[in-house]
Amino acid sequence: MINAYMGYVLVAALLDIGANLCASKSEGFERRGWAVATIVLILSAFTALAQAVKGMDLAVAYATWGALGIVGTALLGQALLGHKLKPIGWAGIVVMILAVVLIKLG
């Protein structure tokens, strides 16, 4: 079951994924609309993460947020932007997910 604090982590991860996709579309922050969207989304993501750490350990919240953000960005980057990871990149993502599970168990 997801508690409210983990809900904040999930929201933070979704906002982070959006920020990453907008950053890619901003072309090095040259396209101002995408650049502003990137900044607003990442600030919103950190705000949600700050709420999450009120009720859970920072290490767990940050690791979960980071892992979800990386997985989501990789999947949506491939689906929406045509970005491709090599098999070794996907293997790294699996290792990262296992690391987050271990952190949560610890």
> What pLDDT score was predicted for residue 105?
87
Tens-place pLDDT, residues 30-84: 999 999 999 999 999 999 999 999 999 999 999 999 999 999 999 999 999 999 9
Report the C-alpha gap between 45 and 11 in whole angstroms.
7
Q: Where are the domains of the chain?
A: 4-105
Report the C-alpha gap between 80 and 82 in whole angstroms.
6
